[in-house]
């Protein structure tokens, strides 16, 4: 018994449909894996402002470790991305609305972790004070002190030429439990904890609002490299009483 003339065509059609099914399954699995990685392991953000220069420049892309902080506490010096605890983003220009098709594509790319469309809904700063820390600015040398110990931040601060003061805005705070005191490296151009002390939060950011620790700059190519926490600067800081 021989095949009918339409049999090869039917087999080819079935073969193509099986191939198409397999491709769609692979795409769905890859998208789900990417979503899980983005949600629980590592996430991409871009830098929209100059508040962390020289450490991070405008339009840098960074990777944020969401997993390690789940069992390892944050340290002084960590560069972290966090959700606005309320009032930090007020008055900051937001990106203009995109056409619906662009919004849809961005949503899909953000879902799988390729895009970082929600970067403007988050902020990035450096951890200076941990729960219980008494953080004061400034001493006679223009340094911040933590629990009475001065820290020399000049290796990463972006200060005007001739200026060595870690902040031109004085403050004297004790970090409450479950929160941190966050400052930008570009102190004169950073609306950080100092600028939000009049809010109900007192300028402190709840640790639960932190997305994770920034650990790698991935773009542009000439800036690819690890993000330095400069933890050695804080080695002489005693534990909070």
Catalytic residue ranges? 51, 125
Asked if 175 contacts 130 with a C-beta cutoff of 8 angstroms, the reply is yes
Structure tokens at 17: 């449909």
Output DSSP code: residue 60: -
Output DSSP code: residue 48: -
Can you point out the beta strands (E) in the chain?
Answer: 42-46, 61-65, 79-83, 122-129, 134-137, 144-146, 149-151, 171-174, 179-183, 205-206, 210-219, 225-226
Number of H helices, E strands in the chain: 2, 12
Structure tokens at 165: 């003061």
Asked if 66 contacts 42 with a C-beta cutoff of 8 angstroms, the reply is yes
Asked if 60 contacts 219 with a C-beta cutoff of 8 angstroms, the reply is yes
For 68, 74, 91, the CA distances from 71, given in Å and listed in that order, are: 6, 10, 35
């Amino acid at each position: 018994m021989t095949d009918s003339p339409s049999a090869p065509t039917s087999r080819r059609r079935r073969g193509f449909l099986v191939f198409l099914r397999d491709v769609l399954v692979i795409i769905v699995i890859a998208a789900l894996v990417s979503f899980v990685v983005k949600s629980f392991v590592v996430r991409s953000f871009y830098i929209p402002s100059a508040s962390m220069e020289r450490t991070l420049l405008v339009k840098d892309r960074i990777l944020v470790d969401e997993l390690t902080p789940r069992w390892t506490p944050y340290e002084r010096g960590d560069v972290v991305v966090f959700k606005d605890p309320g009032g930090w983003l007020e008055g900051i220009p937001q990106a203009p609305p995109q056409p619906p098709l662009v919004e849809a594509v961005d949503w899909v790319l953000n879902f799988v972790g390729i895009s970082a469309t929600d970067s403007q809904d988050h902020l990035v700063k450096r951890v200076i004070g941990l729960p219980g820390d008494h953080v004061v600015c400034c001493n006679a040398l223009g340094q911040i002190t933590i629990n009475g110990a001065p820290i020399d931040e000049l290796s990463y601060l972006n200060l005007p030429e001739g200026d060595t003061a870690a902040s031109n805005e004085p403050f004297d705070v004790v970090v409450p439990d479950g929160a941190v005191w966050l400052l930008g490296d570009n102190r004169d151009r950073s609306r950080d904890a100092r600028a939000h002390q009049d809010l109900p939060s007192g300028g402190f950011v709840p640790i639960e609002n932190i997305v994770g620790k920034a650990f790698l700059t991935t773009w542009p190519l000439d800036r690819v490299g690890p993000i330095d926490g400069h933890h050695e600067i804080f080695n002489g800081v005693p534990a909070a009483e």
